[in-house]
Chain A
Amino acid sequence: MESSLSYESGHDLNLKATELRLGLPGTADEAPEKQFFPTKRTSSEMINSALDSDNADRETCAPPAKAQVVGWPPVQSYRKNCFQPKKAEPDSSGNFVKVSMDGAPYLRKIDLKVYNSYSDLLKALETMFKCTIGVYSEGEGYNGSDHAPTYEDKDGDWMLVGDVPWEMFVNSCKRMRIMKGSDAKGLGCL
């Protein structure tokens, strides 16, 4: 039975299988039949980087993602909710976070639970702060404006809004800041 990958019989340990690199698991390091240029960190990369602490030389600029992947392990959300009764109380009163914008005289508060997606949230922020945030782009931050929406996550790191799946963002966002001008450009992955 032929295999498209060469796991040479001489290598008992086959470290290649566990080697952590940017490619998806299973792709050999001779030219893979299918070129895969990640324009977005795939979930498997996130898993690999979360499990490997010395990730500093990766191409991405954001700190390693958490070890949680959306929908994994595949446990029904009903079952998950049963095991997290503590969440019930804070959840029912909304998930309010402070939002600051550079140059604005005061902060605002928004309830993240009210929104279903990044586009909902960003539209609301644009209305609230009367600014243009533009369109998210993996490689260039936010195109078409001088502003970049950022947030502080549970670790205390400042992240660009939009990199991680929506649910993960809602669960980890503690506060937000809309950066302006040269600061905003600096945060984009260049």
Chain B
Amino acid sequence: MNYFPEEVLEHVFDFLTSHRDRNAVSVVCKSWYTIERFSRERVFIGNCYAISPERLIERFPRIRSLTLKGMPHFADFNLVPHDWGGLVYPWIEAMAKSGVNLEELRLKRMVVSDEGLELLSRSFANFKSLVLVSCEGFTTDGLAAIASNCRFLRELDLQENEVEDHRGQWLSCFPDSCTSLISLNFACLKGEVNLAALERLVARCRNLRSLRLNHAVPLDSLQKILAQAPQLVDLGTGAFVGDQNSESYHKLQSSIQKCTSIRSLSGFLEVAPCCLDSIYAICLNLTSLNLSYAPGIHGSDLIKLIRHCRKLQRLWVLDCIGDKGLEVVASTCKELQELRVFPSDPLGVGHAAVTEEGLVAISFGCPKLHSLLYFCQQMTNAALITVAKNCPNFIRFRLCTLNPVIPDPVTSQPLDEGFGAIVQSCKGLRRLSLSGLLTDQVFLYIGMYAEQLEMLSVAFAGGTDKGMIYVLNGCKKLKKLEIRDSPYGNGGLLKDVGKYETMRSLWMSSCEVTLGGCKALAKKMPRLNVEIIDESGQIGVNPDDDRQKVEKMYLYRTLVGPRSDAPEFVWTL
């Protein structure tokens, strides 16, 4: 293959857009490695501590787009203390110093500071796209810097971040000359925005495709915005409350009707159900609907809305939809590919309104379903077996029973057979989250059948170390394993230490691993960072007592050794 001049190979590589393809190509031979690294513009780093900014820039000097992930997934559920790490500032700083022509930065579960956003906004003249998902540490002041200084900004997408809102004028900081916005999502901000500035901004950005507003944008502003942006493809409403009989409501109806391109709808953070009439017109063409932040839409209003949405491919709802509501989804949304049912009561103290019946109905009505997140009251093996038969195309299957150790209520058996059927039937399964009463058996099935599995989440499982060993031995493509409150100890942890270098990370909390086991692992595997999170300080008091259990352990492969920004409660062994 070295018969071709470099330019030809480069041109061929241009067609390779997926990271995996590019990674594969780069290890073929030295000259391909070199050509590939100089032509790579988009880099994905699944664990920000696996590599350093300096080495990233050294290998990929022409990088234009960087995606970084920081904290472990269980940080979403308050299992990782604040200040654990995942700061993005060193990355921004290093790229700024090296003259990288950064255009896009996508972060997930990282700590972002206003200083970082300010530096970002001033350092990269062509910066176009900022996407922050589940991040924290910044305020609207940082957003003001981005708005003010990024002259060619196309995308500002804030998803589910904890942002301190200074109720300032960040949105007004977009200069009059800014007309390049294609996507603007500030739904997660809690504070007021300057409505007039927002309306003017939308009016001058003729290419705006995606707009997601926050709670503070009222219905009459929405009307003015939609009148200026009938080309929108994705809309997130703010508060959807108004007087049905008012003139502004009638104006809204006609503005919405002109938005014939809307395919994705979300928001309704506050809603008056009588106002929903206005959106039926656009429901027919919707492919994506997110009502998971709209507890105000329920019962017959919700059902009525769903009945209009025949082309839906993605649906996110609250469990107040009930099993009956899911039956309506099953009979209406034949194209459904992704379903997420969230608990209306996130503390989980009450009762979920959906059971296995809703899921079974969906499986009969929606054979194209490939992604599921389902919080439910209970589940049966029979239901899971039926779902597995009806929907063999699952890529992501995440089930969460409100009581994490609930058995099959009909047979009182563990849910081993049900999940076993899922992994056996769904040969393309890449992500699986288990719950309910489980034994080693389910992990035997997973090890045997889940050949494509990349991520597995285990909570409150029963059994022995064998369970963990079945998974580590069997799942050849496993990248992320996260386990909490399960009886796996050093026997499982240390059985196949080499496995962890083939994976991105392993999280174990409230299991049986001891300090001695973790130390032994760290000693054998120098290219892993084995981190102990010692919140209570107990390990610090007795660092030589190897028998003590480790409450939280997070290990990951890395090329750059222990991180220098670990807080005092994190020990890298």
Contacts and interface: CB of A to CB of B under 8 A. Distances in A.
Interface stretch (B60-68, B76-84, B518-526): B76-84
Which applies to chain A's interface (DSSP): helix, strand, loop or mixed? loop
B400 A24 contact: no
B342 interface: yes
Given A36-B512, A67-B349, A77 B487 contact: no
A3 B441 CA distance: 6
B462 A24 contact: yes
A73 interface: yes
Nearest to B436: A25
B346 A72 contact: no
Contact of A3 (B82, B437, B440, B535): B440
Contacts of A72: 77, 348, 404, 459-460
Given A47-B405, A77-B77, A136-B536, A26 B510 contact: no
Interface residues of B, number: 66
Interface string A71-93: 11111111111111000000000
B440 A117 contact: no
Contact of A17 (B76, B347, B414, B463): B414
Contact of B462 (A25, A70, A73, A162): A25
A76 B295 contact: no
A69 interface: yes
**Chain B's interface: helix, strand, loop or mixed, by majority?**
loop
B462 A27 contact: yes
Interface in A98-127: 116-119
B70 interface: no
A42 interface: yes
A33 B160 contact: no
Q: Which of B346, B413, B486, B541 has most A Cβ within 10 Å?
A: B346
B421 interface: no
Lowest 7 CB-CB distances: which A-B pairs, in order? Answer: A26-B462, A71-B77, A119-B537, A73-B348, A26-B439, A75-B346, A80-B346
13 contacts: A3-B439, A26-B462, A36-B487, A39-B549, A42-B485, A67-B349, A68-B349, A70-B79, A72-B460, A74-B76, A77-B162, A81-B162, A116-B82
Interface of B: 74, 76-79, 81-83, 134, 160-162, 188, 292-293, 295, 342-349, 375, 400, 402-405, 407, 411-414, 433, 437-441, 444-445, 459-466, 484-487, 489, 491, 510, 512, 535-538, 541, 549, 569
